[in-house]
Amino acid sequence: MRSEFQRQTSELLKEAQLKAEAHGLHVTAMEWEWLLEFASGISKMERLLGSVAPTKADWESVFHSGLNRRLQGEPIQYILGSTEFYGRKFAVGPSVLIPRPETESLVEWAADIGNRQTAPRILDIGTGSGCIAVSLALEVPGSEVRAIDCSREALAVARSNASTLGASVDFERTDVLNDAIPDPPYSLIVSNPPYVPVEEMEEMQREVRDYEPHVALFAGRDPLLFYRKFAETLRTTLRSGGYIGMEIHAQFGPEVAKLFVDNGWRNVMVKQDLAGMDRFVVASVD
């Protein structure tokens, strides 16, 4: 027999889905499950298996307040205050980009390179929530990791994530387009810089356009701005045999690769994400 909680939650989940459809929003069933778990303190498995009762008295009002925020278009990760990245939970808020699953492939590539280097020194440019830097600090034992961002608010979130997850990362406010790179040389540089052309702003999902920080998304009129700067200036900040790996917009693989070839980098390669889209460019120095 279904418990009172099971009956109530199944109605709430249906109501949430209907409201989302009426608002013209595409919300996955998983998002409502996350919100329900967040509000009630009961996992989906616990709820489906037994006659559990929620641990929080105000769980329904927490669910409804989250539902209303989601119906306005706010991403579920900001409502929950966290997201999973590379098997760990990262706090997120409006001052940082929500880490994306495709970026995990960049971490996988970088961890593999870092673990084959002697005394790896890693730099993450545009660290945001710190998801790449913190993951690498934990996945590459013995590495020295530094992470920079121009946003003080983002750096505060990143520092807090590093501390919660027990990662040793040096954070520093640096504008990579105008300031010198701190404390070179590195053996590995990683970056997921802003790369969305401003022309795409109108057609973007409203969750992204209206809620995620524009400084993290858009590179102004020149979507290659950051890659041009990296290709022209970062060779001298790498140790001999060092690597760079960057996330890119799927449309610009060949253009980004050409910038690196033209600037004398070696082993320049465009790599694909799990969906088969061009998503990364990697290169090395002699």
Binding of residue 274 to ligand SAM (CB under 6 A): no
Binding of residue 216 to ligand SAM (CB under 6 A): yes
Q: Site map for ligand SAM, 107-126, x if CB under 6 A?
A: -------------------x
- Residue 127's region, left for phi above 0, alpha for psi from -120 to 50, else beta, is alpha
Cis peptide before 185 (omega within 30 of 0): yes
CA-based R_g, the chain, Å: 21
Between CA 71 and CA 90 the distance in angstroms is 23
Q: Could you tell me the smallest distance in angstroms from the CB atom of residue 196 to ligand SAM?
A: 9
Q: Quote helix, strand, coil % in the chain, to nearest 5.
A: 45, 20, 35
Which one among 30, 177, 201, 261 touches ligand SAM, defined by CB under 6 A? Answer: 177
Binding of residue 192 to ligand SAM (CB under 6 A): yes
Which one among 154, 238, 281, 282 touches ligand SAM, defined by CB under 6 A? Answer: 154
Residues 6+ apart with CB under 8 A from 259: 224, 227, 228, 231
Which one among 66, 75, 120, 128 touches ligand SAM, defined by CB under 6 A? Answer: 128
Q: Could you tell me the smallest distance in angstroms from the CB atom of residue 156 to ligand SAM?
A: 12
Binding of residue 127 to ligand SAM (CB under 6 A): yes
The structure tokens listed for 285 are: 């120095």
Q: Which residues bind ligand SAM (CB under 6 A)?
A: 97, 99, 103, 126-129, 131-132, 148-151, 154, 175-177, 192-194, 215-216
